[in-house]
Amino acid sequence: MEKEGPPPAYPDLSEEQIPAPPPYSDASGIMLIVKATDFAARKHRKQKRKDPQQTPYINHPVGVARILTSEGGITDPIVLAAAILHDTVEDTNTTIDEIEQEFGREIRNIIAEVTDDKSLPKEKRKALQVEQTPHKSRQAKLVKLADKLYNLRDIERSPPVWWDCRRVKEYFKWSRDVIAGCKGTNDALEAALDDIINRNL
């Protein structure tokens, strides 16, 4: 019997699960999302993901935004722009001041909430995520939920080539601890995270 592969990155949803389309009459919101996508694409243009296929890094922030809209029912342009920009300060030469100058204080604050301090040791950064996540804004928690869901699906489907089973399980356990601090933020995203974590632990 042929073994089933992992679930797709974006599962098919029933009609009842598909959120209503966003109000496209809000031209300023559309412009903000397009500007954020262009900005992130430029900043991440030379980066690749850690999967064996070395996929373009920009796939990740765009995918996080897609999870928020298609599975979380989120249509707030501020949250979606922040999702697209969420790794620019942590993983490129972008500064938090640059984010504020280009996108305003509200998006700047969300990005600051989801950005790790790379000057700290990795284990300390991971511990701080667990400790500080319950105190984040709802907007930051939404980005964090979608970010973790995207990453866990990526790892389930195609983990980094140098990761063994133990490393994969450690990541799933740590992610479970982080998202525990987001409980009550978005039922659909939390249910999807519970499913993938339970499937892999």
Angle between helical axes of 59-70 and 77-85 (0-180°, round to 10): 150
Check residue 121 and report its DSSP letter.
Answer: -
Kindly list the distances between the CA atom of residue 92 and the CA atoms of 11, 57, 95, 116, in Å, as whole numbers in the listed order.
30, 11, 9, 12
Q: Which of 16, 26, 71, 90 is catalytic?
A: 90
Q: Which of 12, 16, 87, 91 is catalytic?
A: 91
Q: Examine the residue annotation and report whether 170 is marked as an active-site residue of this protein.
A: no
Q: Which amino acid is at 52?
A: P
What spatial distance separates the first Cα and last Cα of the chain, rounded to whole Å? 24
CA distance 46 to 41: 9
Q: Examine the residue annotation and report whether 156 is marked as an active-site residue of this protein.
A: no
CA dihedral angle for residue 94, residue 38, residue 51, residue 158, rounded to 10 degrees? 130
| Catalytic residue positions, numbered | 90-91
